[in-house]
Structure 1
Amino acid sequence: MKHHRTEDLAALASEMFEDIRALSADAAGVSRPAFSARETETLSYLAERARTEGLCVTEDLGRNLLFSLPEHEDSDRFTMIGSHVDSVPMGGNYDGLAGVIAGLVVLIAARRGLRALSRPVKVLAMRGEESAWFGACYIGSKLLTGTLPEGEFHAAHKGDRRSLGAHLEALGIDTAPIQAQEPLCDLSRIEAYLELHIEQGPLLVERNIPAAVVTGIRGNFRYRDIHCIGQAGHSGAVPRAYRHDPVLAFAELMHRLDSTWQHLLNTGQDLVLTSGVVGTDPTRHAIARIPDEITFSLDIRSQDAGTLDQMRRYLKDEMADIARSRGVRFELGPEVAVAPALMDPALVSGLERAMASVTGEAFSMASGGGHDAAVFAQAGVPSGMVFVRNRNGSHNPDEAMEIADFMVGVDILASYMEAAS
C-alpha cells in the first residue's frame, strides 16, 4: 500500500512538471522570465494545485507564494523549504522548479497522512533568481533578506530595458522598503531554510548516486575582461628571445594556475577555476602575426574564504612574474566577488542521517553554482541543501532529472522533517 502511495506522489509531481513545462514552452526548452506574466502564471498554477490538495496559500510582500498545512498557517516559527520558479531563456524545466515542487510534495504527503512533520513547514515559491534577465542573481531572496544593492534595483531588463524597480512596481510591489534595504519578511521566524536543487554538474551521474547533501556553496572572485598586452611582430622574423607574446604568457599563467589547483586538491582543499572566454581580435591579428593583445575571463571558486584569498594573492604574484619574464603586462579590470556560504553543520548532519535512512548511505558534496540558500545563510538563517542527480547540466533544454531520483530527494527532506525536533 505504501509503495502505491509513493507512486501516486511521483505521478502527481510528474504531472505538475509537465503542466508547467507546457505553460512556459519556448522555441527550445522553457522560458519563465523573472517578474513576468509567465512567472505569475506559473505561481497561479501552483497555488491552484496546492488548494486542491487542501493546503493554505498566501502571498508575501515580494509577491512570492507560501504554502503550508492549515494547522501551520499562523505558526510563529517554521522551517522553510524554498526555491525559485523563474528560468533562464530557453532553459530546462527543473532548475529551481524542482525545489518548489519537492516542498509541495512534502506538504501533500503530510496532508494525506503519509508523513508526519515534527515542526511547522512553509514552502516558498520564489520569483527572480536567474541573472539572465536583469544581470543580477538571487533578486527574490535578496528582496526577502533586505540585501539587494542599489545598483541592482536600477538594473535594466535585457529585453525592454526597463529597470528592475519598474518591473517590481508593475507587479504592485512596494519598493520603498526594498530601496531602504529592509527585509520583506521576518527572518527571525525562519528556523531553517532548506532547498532541493538539481545538480548542475556530473558528479552524481558519474558516481551513480541519486542525491547528495550539500556542505557549502562555493564563493568566487571573477575578472570578466583581463587584458594581457605584449608587442606585435612577424611570426617568422622575431626570434623567441625578442618576443613579447601575450598568448604564450596567458598559456603559462593557466598552466601555473592548473598546477596549483591540482596541488590544493591533493592537500584536501576545495577549488575550481575556469577561463571561459579567451581570444585575440581577429580583425587585427593574423596567422602570420604575433598578437599584441589577448583578452580572457577568469572565474575562481572555493567553499573556503581563505583559499580564495590565497588564490587572489597567488594570481597577482604569478602575473607579475610572467609579466617580467615575458615582457608583457596584465590589466585585470574590476573584480566581482561573492563570499562562500557554508551550510549549517547541524542541518548537514541531520540531512545526512535522513539520506542514510532513505538510501542506506549518505553522500555529501560542495555546490559549484550559487543558490538562494547562500543568500539566506549569509543573512543568518541556518540553511541546508539537497542535490538531485541530473544529466546534461542545467540552464539548457536537455536537463534530464529522473522522477525516481527526485522522489529520493523528496524523501530525504520528508525524513529530515519527521526526525527534526
Structure 2
Amino acid sequence: MMLQSFKGHDDAAMGALAAQVFDGIRALSPDSAGVSRPAFSDIETRTLDWLADFARTEGLHVEEDAGRNLLFCLPKDAQAESWVLIGSHVDSVPMGGNYDGLAGVVAGLIVLIRAARSGRSFRRPVKCLAMRGEESAWFGACYLGSKMLTGQLPDAELAAAHKGDGRSLRDHLDGLGIDTAPLAARTPICDLSKIEGYLELHIEQGPLLVERGLPAAVVSGIRGNFRHRLVRCIGEAGHSGAVPRAYRHDPVLAFAELMHRLDDTWDHLLRTGRDLVLTSGIVGTDPASHAISRIPDELGFSLDIRSQDAAILDQMRAYLREQMDDIGRSRGVRFDTGAEVAVAPALMDPTVIAGLETAMARVTDEPFTMPSGGGHDAAIFAQAGIPAGMVFVRNRNGSHNPDEAMEIGDFLVGTAILSAYLEAEE
C-alpha cells in the first residue's frame, strides 16, 4: 500500500519529529517494564510540560484549560471563536506501552506542524488537546479527563480512591489547583459550543489491521458494554468420587454450560450481521478450599459483553438472566451477578465518518472502516453531542503492555488521513 504524498510536506521529517516526541516522553516515564504515567500525577504533569516546550519550539500556540489539560494550535487560530479538536490522553496504565493515548496527541501536533511548514490551510480552525486521566487503572474509572471537560463526571468517581495512595480524585485535583466545584455540579469546564467536532487517532488494540495488512482504518463506532466484575455461581461441595451426576450441584459445569450457550448466541449474532464480543477474563474456584477430589461449592467469574448496538446489549442482558435461571434450575445452582457496570455505545458521527473515509481514499488505495472494541475519550465527546470521529493505526502485540509496536510509517498514514480531512482542498 502506497501513501500518496501531500504537496509541501516531508514524510521523513514528520516521521523524525514524531519519533523525537515518542522517545522524549518515553524517557520521562520509564517503569521496570514499559512506561507508567499515572493519571493526575507529577509524571503526567511533566509529560505535559515537555509537550508544551516542544510545541513552542515548533512555533505553536500553547494554553492550559481549567482541567490543566493543554491546547495547541497555530498562532493565527489562538483567538478563534470555534474549532475542530484533535485529542487524546497522555496517561498510561502501569507498565504499559508508550503509544496508547500519546499517539493521538502526537498526531494532533504533527497535523498542526505539517500545515504550518507546508503553508496549507485548514477548512476550519484546528486545536490539539492533550488530556489527563483516561485510564481506569488509577482511580477505577475511565475517561475522567473528558468527563470533567464535558460535565459528565459522577459524584462516585470524583470521590474514587487512588489505587496507590488511597487519596480521592477530588484530593488529587485540589492538589493540582483544579476547581472541583463545577465538577461536583456536573457543569462542563470548557465551552462545548466552541467545539465543532472531535477527532482522535489511536492505536488499534486488537489484531484486525495486522491480519488484514492495513496501516490504518476509520472507526465506525465505539462499543458500549455491560460488565459484572464478579459473578458467583453457588453450588454444593461434595466428594468427587462419591456423588453421582444426578445429585451434583456443580458450579463449574454450570459455568461451562452458560459460556457454551453465550458462545453459540455470539456466533449466531455475528452470522446475522450483528455486532457483539464477550469475554470472561477471570474464572476460578476458591484456592483455600479447592482440591482435585472435591466438587467445589462456588465458582467466581467476570463477564464483559460489548456491542455497538444498544438493543443488542439489552437483548444480551435479558438473555443472560434467562440462561442463568434455566441452568440454575437444571443443575441446582444459583448465580449471583453482583453489581453491573455499564457504558452506552457511542456511534461516530456519520458525516465525520464519510469525510474520513473520503480522506483515507485519497491517502491510501484501500480505505477500511471498523468498530472499536475498546473505549476512548471520543465516546464521551460523542455523548456530549459533539460530532466525533476516530482513526485507528495498526499496532502489533495489543495495548496496555510494554510490547505495543506501532510503526512510524503507519502512524504517518493515520496523520495524513486527518490532514486530508481537515485541510482545505486546493
- Give your verdict on TM over 0.5: yes
Find out whether 1:215 has 2:232 as its counterpart: no
Q: 1:28 aligns with which of 30, 33, 49?
A: 33
Deviations 1:155-194 (A, max 9, x none): 1111111111111111111111111111010111101000
After TM superposition, where is structure 1 displaced by more than 4 Å over at least 4 residues in a row?
Answer: 1-4
Letter in 1 for 2:83: F
* Identity percentage of aligned residues: 72
Contact 2:8 2:118 (C-alpha < 8 Å) held by counterparts: no
Find out whether 1:277 has 2:282 as its counterpart: yes
Structure 2 distance, partners of 1:125, 1:25, is 20
Q: 2:14 aligns with which of 5, 9, 25?
A: 9
With 32-41 and 301-310 compared, the bigger mean Cα shift is at: 32-41
Q: 2:75 aligns with which of 62, 70, 79?
A: 70
Q: 1:93 aligns with which of 98, 106, 124?
A: 98
With 334-343 and 232-241 compared, the bigger mean Cα shift is at: 232-241
Report what 2:235 is aligned to.
230
3-state SS, counterpart of residue 178 of structure 1: helix
Report what 1:175 is aligned to.
180
Contact 2:158 2:184 (C-alpha < 8 Å) held by counterparts: yes
Count of paired positions: 421
Structure 1 distance, partners of 2:199, 2:411, is 15
Superposition map of 1:337-348 within 5 A: 337-348=342-353
Find out whether 1:316 has 2:321 as its counterpart: yes
Decide whether aligned partners of structure 1 residues 289 and 395 sit closer, same or farther in structure 2, where only a CA change above 3 A counts.
same
Report what 1:263 is aligned to.
268
Q: 2:293 aligns with which of 275, 288, 293?
A: 288
Superposition map of 1:42-191 within 5 A: 42-113=47-118, 115-191=120-196
Deviations 1:243-267 (A, max 9, x none): 1111000000000000000000000
Find out whether 1:393 has 2:423 as its counterpart: no
With 356-365 and 402-411 compared, the bigger mean Cα shift is at: 356-365
Structure 2 distance, partners of 1:114, 1:213, is 26
* Cα RMSD after superposing both structures: 1.3
Displacement, 1:231? 1.2
Structure 1 distance, partners of 2:319, 2:325, is 10
Displacement, 1:282? 2.2
Structure 2 distance, partners of 1:230, 1:181, is 44
Letter in 2 for 1:7: A
Deviations 1:189-223 (A, max 9, x none): 10100000000001100111000000000000011
Letter in 2 for 1:54: G
Contact 1:115 1:414 (C-alpha < 8 Å) held by counterparts: no
Displacement, 1:361? 2.0
Structure 2 distance, partners of 1:262, 1:53, is 51
TM-score by length of 1: 0.98
Displacement, 1:232? 1.2
Structure 1 distance, partners of 2:148, 2:294, is 51
Displacement, 1:114? 5.2
Report what 1:299 is aligned to.
304
Decide whether aligned partners of structure 1 residues 4 and 173 sit closer, same or farther in structure 2, where only a CA change above 3 A counts.
closer
Unaligned runs of 5+ in 1: none
Displacement, 1:300? 0.3
3-state SS, counterpart of residue 112 of structure 1: helix
Decide whether aligned partners of structure 1 residues 350 and 163 sit closer, same or farther in structure 2, where only a CA change above 3 A counts.
same
Deviations 1:11-48 (A, max 9, x none): 00011100110111111111111111111111111111
